[in-house]
Structure 1
Amino acid sequence: MSSTLPADAAPGSASSTALPFTKGHGTGNDFVLLNDPQGELTFDAAALADRRFGVGGDGVIRAIRSERLDEGRALLADDASAEWFMDYRNADGSIAEMCGNGIRVFGEYLVTEGLADIAVGETVSIGTRSGVRRLRREVDGWAVDLGVFRVEEGEPTVAADGLEVDRPGLGIDVGNPHIVVVLADHAELDALDLHRAPRVAPIPPHGANIEFVVPAEPLVQDGTGRIRMRVHERGSGETLSCGTGAAAAALAVRHFAGDTIDRWLVDVPGGTVGVRVTRAAADGGDGGVGGGAARVELSGPAELVYRGTLG
């Protein structure tokens, strides 16, 4: 999706310590983006993401060449074409493995900044802390292969403000950890207060994003499943959308429905994203689809809304 970017849309003046930035979002999941090919910038991600005293965002994404990071150099040994690394930090400054909405916005940023030439229909390799992800430019957005997913064992329980009783959850790993809770109806979903993080027992060792979903009625129309979702993201709080969370939510409902529905639409407060399960062979893991490990693809819009300079 092309974007119009008014210059100097944020307070600040250019100087030797100026920090240029761009603001972008994918279905309302918003990010501060920094162009730092050589890894020369010094920045405070939590301060940038602060909605009152900074630019504001659910996270900060730095575009850096893979060769300039230890994690990126390790990936180049397996995929030399992964020139760019998506260095992602949550709103609290903590480092995260991956972000499904963020990587689509990252692709739009690479093209708009002239860092990469990616035509509609072309695919590019992007380095992340979850490994190399293949990102494809589409007419109306981007699609990313999130890789092999895993349905976790066990049945954690989740407590949240607005829920009268704790609910069982299903762990789904799509390169970062998620726990999905299926609710009875839209009224129950709307009653949630996700300002405070849901409480999970047992506590996930690395934390988790928590998704609450309501299946559509009927669940499937014209071969496509549909669900509605809200999410509390680890390190960011409730967000208008979570790309990997949407994939995890669709995969959880798919699992409960017998692993037969491969196309999904996920409605989030910020819009709608697509999720697709593929049967292509993959290296390791088993998502429950015969004939090779199952992989999951996320698709949706990405928009850059303004740029500015801090400093």
Structure 2
Amino acid sequence: MALHLNRRTALILSGASALAFGTPLVGQENMLRLAFIPQENPDKLLGDIDAITRWLAEQVGVPVEGFVTIDHAAAVEALRNGDADISFMGALPFVLAEAEIGAVPLLSEVYRGAPSYTGRIFVRRDSGIKTLSDLRGKDIAFADPISESGYLYPLAEFVQAGLVEDAGAAETFFGRMFFAGGYQQAMQAMAEGLVDAAGASQYADLLLTPTQQAQVTWIAESESIPSHLVIARPGLDAGLQDRFVDAMMRLNEPENRDKLRHLYGPDGYVRADSSAYDGVRDMARRYGFLR
């Protein structure tokens, strides 16, 4: 059974978000509730949420509440239960939420000019690990069990290399396999020597300190993945949803671009194209996440 390196951190984060922003209120159309996933340092994320929700409230015209979930699965449940109206989410949890609850894609993130990115396997430069096969019997931290760039796509590189038969057999290849709870947590565990490798987004090394960034490298990269996106629960008031999308698109304007740093730091947003996620749906079926 895979363990969580940062279970205590996740619990603290969940409690902190509730204290900072209150318990999500169900059934209120005169406010908007946003669920955020814990990809970054908890203190930074809470500060970012406060800043961006205050700006969004001015733009949308209703109070906007933000809270941090423990992981992607909890964000999907918040949408299912009506505790959240909108969530920032990776591509894999989106296609699961779409299949399970009819979640609606609204916006896709743009990084370096494209609404796509990759997953990578990172190691320390001084580890002596040069290839995926060198990780046999070694410890690895993935970001989240339903993360595309932080688990599914990096793991697929081991499958394609013939080292792992399928997702269910992964633990027989590695010494130990952990789910750290986010990109930064997985990368930090690798950089500090708690594990030998980390599976995370191609940009996850930017979450390390400059000194740590110089000490790590990557040894494998996945195929292109459609970027993270913003999704809504089914049944959200159409007018409120449209005002939110319009506000988010205004973040692309020069005078508002500085606020993107409060939303995981993308270059901007485009309106989501559901068909762009067909490859993720296929991958999810191949690895047993979808029927």
Q: Answer yes or no: same fold by TM over 0.5.
A: no
TM-score relative to the length of structure 2: 0.29
The structure with the largest strand share of the pair is 1
Q: Which has the higher contact order (CA 8 A, sep 6+)?
A: 2
The structure with the largest helix share of the pair is 2
TM-score relative to the length of structure 1: 0.28
